[in-house]
């Protein structure tokens, strides 16, 4: 029997500077960019890593970490295999959330919205900029499918290396991007005594309403 893990005394006291309402920009995308640049400057490892949560086909929440590849007025984009588990879930229900956990700054940003596929042209353009190994990986992996062992992947990788030289790897038809059009943003800053700062942006016509939430 595995011994139970008692983590009741495992905690960190948050001590970062808080966030006041007057410090927030009126546009949440602009505010996100400010916090993102601060995360980069602070040395946060992969500050573009985000947890994408979708509704599982079995009714359970389904989450995984992917990398943000662009953010603009249209939304937040990432790229993946459309035949993967996440692809099937998004096809069934496009509603999703993004979570950026910037632990080093005692911050997180939570974004809700709906996902749509990027254009084929945009997917092609990004795929062409990927490293050679990553391009081959997109062809090698039948993402989320059961495989007998890693050797299956390594053997297929070697086969494809012989077939496609660098610069000549075709983008798979089942590979491309998704973009989340944001409906709300929550900016969270850890504070002492667990009295954290939380600010919620909700779209209101062409603008955004900003409210403070209790921690």
The residues that are catalytic are 194
Helix boundaries (H) for 23-70: 28-41
Strand segments (E) across the chain: 49-55, 61-67, 70-72, 75-81, 95-102, 107-117, 175-189, 197-204, 207-213
Q: How many helices (H) and strands (E) does the chain have?
A: 5, 9
Q: Residue written as tokens 């007025």?
A: 73
* Whether the Cβ atoms of residue 107 and residue 35 lie closer than 8 Å to each other: yes
Dihedral, CA atoms, 62, 130, 82, 150, nearest 10 degrees?
A: -70
DSSP code of 179?
E
């Amino acid at each position: 029997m595995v011994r139970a893990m008692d983590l009741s005394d495992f905690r960190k006291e948050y001590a970062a500077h808080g966030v006041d309402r007057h410090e927030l920009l009126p546009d949440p995308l602009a505010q996100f960019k400010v916090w993102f640049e601060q995360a980069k400057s602070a040395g946060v490892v992969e500050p573009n890593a985000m947890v994408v949560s979708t509704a599982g086909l079995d009714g359970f929440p389904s989450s995984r970490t992917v990398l943000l590849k662009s953010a603009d007025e249209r939304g937040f984009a990432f790229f993946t295999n459309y035949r993967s588990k996440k692809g099937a879930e998004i096809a069934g229900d496009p509603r999703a959330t993004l979570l950026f956990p910037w632990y080093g700054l005692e911050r997180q940003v939570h974004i809700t919205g709906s996902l749509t596929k990027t254009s084929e042209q945009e997917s092609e353009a990004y795929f062409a900029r990927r490293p050679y190994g990553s391009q081959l990986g997109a062809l090698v992996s039948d993402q989320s499918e059961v495989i007998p062992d890693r050797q299956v992947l390594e053997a297929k990788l070697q086969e494809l290396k012989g077939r496609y030289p660098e610069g000549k790897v075709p983008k798979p038809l089942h590979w491309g991007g998704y973009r989340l059009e944001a409906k709300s943003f929550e900016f969270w800053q850890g504070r002492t005594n667990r009295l954290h700062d939380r600010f919620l942006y909700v779209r209101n016509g062409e603008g955004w309403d900003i409210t403070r939430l209790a921690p």
